[in-house]
Chain A
């Protein structure tokens, strides 16, 4: 069981005393933008990469639901043409080319998560999902090797995943993750998960939406080796931060394997694009502060800092 008194105090100080002023925060260049990718031509991707030349840190490029495109594995794109994995690779490569071309500072670097979700997968078989996850890991691995060969010190590529309890059964989501994790030499994965329906008061493996529970959310967001949790912290009320603190607490107490959070994902940018989101438009700093604050309310879950602040937008 974790006991981290000094770090507890540091986190409490940052969260309570100066959190609002930003002194414990990263500078704006490190508040990255993530995207739902509904616009995927080569020039659009390069332009998007160029636009992000003012950023340094982690971000996720989310494609849509896992699917098959002309006999190949791929992803949907919300009405834009479905993309094969090879198409997605080209989008990401052009994004990196644009970023490298426009990078504001030689010290800036991006860690890019190439993501899909557990949307629309309930009708898929377990073997299809595992194969898709495996193929996704293979594609991400190839992209990572390409980036390291051509743009070392500028961009690294990882997996990304948006699993949400309301979007599928746990079994189907887990099948996909097992496929990804089963690929030898797979890349780390940013897990930009939600914990919808999970408890905001108890850490006794309480139920979440759709038959998930705290253990199941933890399993996907942390227990799998590649998983780096960078959860969605959208709600102004702080409920999502509380949910994750309690999932972490459950894992610490009952599984002896507490979580470490690598970042937070907010959606203020997307909310501006859609004309507002009632009660779920945390800014990146608010999301960061909420999670750090709630983790700091218990010495068993506190951590000294959370590095990544990314804010999701629509690229459409």
Chain B
């Protein structure tokens, strides 16, 4: 591409061409419109979900998906249901006190982080609106090993033994003890705080028949068959 600044006269170079002005105006307009749209979008309600669904259905068909494709049909059914629901006026769900539930959670939240462990929620509302008995918030003992997204990968739980270890402060530790004795721990804290703690070690390989158990202090004890218990400080 030729750089015409080298071929034009000085006077011409100081006077922008009409095309350049037009281009600059267009760019400025686009930027201004973009900024204005951004500001407006930050305050405006989202596009109704019905419109989004319709746009998706149109987009699918336009891109070559058959209109009678099951996926299209299921989306259309969903859209139809949404549209009908938008004008429906169902009676309040009987026997459900959402406000009470929210107040319970608020009270539990206020207590959390001080001395009260995360409770089992004795005020739970079952599907029929009735009160259900509470359960502990965390398991205590050996559990099935699974991936903890972003924290514990599949290779780290292969052939591992996993233990849920409630802490005295109401938080919990998810502990994967590898066959090689490496102890990998994820801390589930208050307010959604999740943290991978530094790895520790049992100090010996952990056989499949070794006993693994949490302690009341929030640590783990590994007991190989016929050997003394090996405490593991989870930190």
Contact = CB atoms under 8 A, between A and B. Distances in A.
Nearest to B158: A122
A38 interface: yes
Q: How large is the interface on A (under 10, 10 to 19, 20 to 34, 35 or more residues)?
A: 35 or more
B1 interface: no
The B contact surface, by secondary structure, is: mixed
Nearest to A228: B71
Interface in A111-141: 111, 117, 119-120
Contacts of B98: 46, 50, 97-98, 100-101
B6 interface: no
Contact of A303 (B37, B59, B127): B59
A44 to B, nearest CB: 6
Nearest to A99: B98
B189 to A, nearest CB: 8
Most chain B CB within a 10 A radius of its CB, from A46, A79, A227: A79
B101 A94 contact: yes
B85 A148 contact: yes
B35 interface: yes
Given A7-B62, A225-B74, A314-B192, A262 B48 contact: no
A39 B190 CA distance: 11
A27 B85 contact: no
A236 interface: no
Interface string A39-61: 10111101100100000110000
A188 B153 contact: no
A154 B90 CA distance: 11
B60 interface: yes
Nearest to A315: B192
A61 B189 CA distance: 20
Given A25-B41, A78-B174, A153 B150 contact: no
Contacts of A7: 59, 62-63
B20 interface: no
Interface string B134-162: 11111100011111111101110100000
Contacts of B164: 79
B209 interface: no
Contacts of B74: 187-188, 225-226
B64 A41 contact: no
Interface in B70-102: 70-71, 74-75, 78, 81-82, 84-88, 90, 93, 96, 98-99, 101-102
Given A80-B137, A225-B70, A2 B192 contact: no
A119 B147 contact: yes
A47 B121 CA distance: 13
B194 interface: yes
Contacts of B78: 111, 156, 188
B52 interface: yes
B4 interface: no
Given A79-B174, A152-B81, A156-B82, A97 B33 contact: no
Q: How large is the interface on B (under 10, 10 to 19, 20 to 34, 35 or more residues)?
A: 35 or more
Given A23-B41, A56-B46, A152-B84, A76 B64 contact: no
The A contact surface, by secondary structure, is: mixed
Given A153-B85, A167-B154, A188-B78, A307 B52 contact: yes
Most chain A CB within a 10 A radius of its CB, from B33, B96, B106, B127: B127
A313 B90 CA distance: 32
Contacts of A93: 127
A21 B101 contact: no
A64 B146 contact: yes
A57 B52 CA distance: 9
B24 to A, nearest CB: 15
A27 B41 contact: yes
B182 interface: no
A297 interface: no
18 contacts: A4-B62, A18-B30, A25-B41, A29-B46, A43-B124, A44-B121, A47-B101, A47-B106, A81-B136, A90-B132, A109-B86, A152-B85, A166-B155, A258-B63, A260-B63, A303-B63, A305-B55, A314-B188
Interface of A: 2, 4, 7, 17-18, 21-23, 25-30, 36, 38-39, 41-44, 46-47, 50, 56-57, 64-65, 67, 76, 78-82, 86, 89-90, 93-94, 97-98, 100-101, 105, 107-109, 111, 117, 119-120, 146, 148-154, 156, 162, 164, 166-167, 187-188, 225-228, 258, 260, 262, 267, 270-271, 273-275, 277, 280, 303-305, 307, 312-316
